[in-house]
Structure 1
Amino acid sequence: MRNRRKDTARRAPGALEAEVLSVLWGSDEPLSPTDVQAQLEDDLAYTTVVTILSRLHDKGVATREKHGRSFRYHAVDDEAGLAARKMTKVLDGEPDRDSVLARFVTQLSDSDEALLRDLLRGKK
């Protein structure tokens, strides 16, 4: 007997996590896996949603609190905070921070460089 699989397009790495994070960002309160599952466009299995939420928790991107016998999840940061966290992680992994920061700054557009200067001066 042949194993039948749905003909579905393969997702990009991290796409499911991004979808789940989007649901968490859209809520003011912690959500259960069932709540998240209901808001996702894809028809994902409950266990898949739980796995994704657990991974987000393990990565420190989501917090969880016990509610009865299950957990409710909330995003730690908004999108900008998550991007900043990723940038910091990359920088922390480099042995020559000065060179990495210098190269980063030289590759900024003029408008981004002006914005960064204003931020460093506390003007924004």
Structure 2
Amino acid sequence: MQGLGELETAVMEVLWRDPGPQRVRDVLDVLNTERDLAYTTVMTVLDNLHRKGWVSRERDGRAYRYVATRSREDAVANALRELLDSTKDPESVLLRFARSVSPRESEVLRRALDDTAADQ
């Protein structure tokens, strides 16, 4: 994910899979099925994500409960937008991308463009 490190992305994936408020321990338990992380590591990552605006948090006793502030789809779309903005030839990139999509994806793009044109 653009602007996020590997561990930040893994934490966001946990929050996106279960959109309810989650404690550090909840996130750690999911992540530790694949790796061996310390509680303080996950707490620091969630604090950084909060500072970056990726998650909100609410006090629950002495701990916080965290929730993603943007959907996975919004995050991916924003990353694509940033990539297009960072290239000198966005039209060429869009054309190459358009040629790589499946027929179903192409139809989704056509409908979205038609809806956008109808709104203008």
State TM-score, norm by structure 2.
0.66
Deviation per CA, 1:16-74, whole angstroms, max 9, x where unpaired?
22321222112242111112112221221011001111222233222222233332111
* d(CA) in 1 for partners of 2:48, 2:14: 15
% identical equivalent positions: 39
Q: Which runs of 5+ in 2 are unaligned?
A: 116-120
2:109 aligns to what? 116
One-letter identity of the residue aligned with 1:50: M
2:10 aligns to what? 19
* Structure 1 residue 92: Cα displacement: 4.5
Larger proportion of helix: 2
Residue correspondences, number: 109
* d(CA) in 1 for partners of 2:55, 2:85: 21
* d(CA) in 2 for partners of 1:50, 1:92: 33
8 Å CA contact 1:61, 1:82 repeated in 2: no
* d(CA) in 1 for partners of 2:16, 2:68: 6
SS of 2:56's equivalent in the other structure is strand
CA RMSD of aligned residues (A): 2.7
1:56 aligns to what? 49
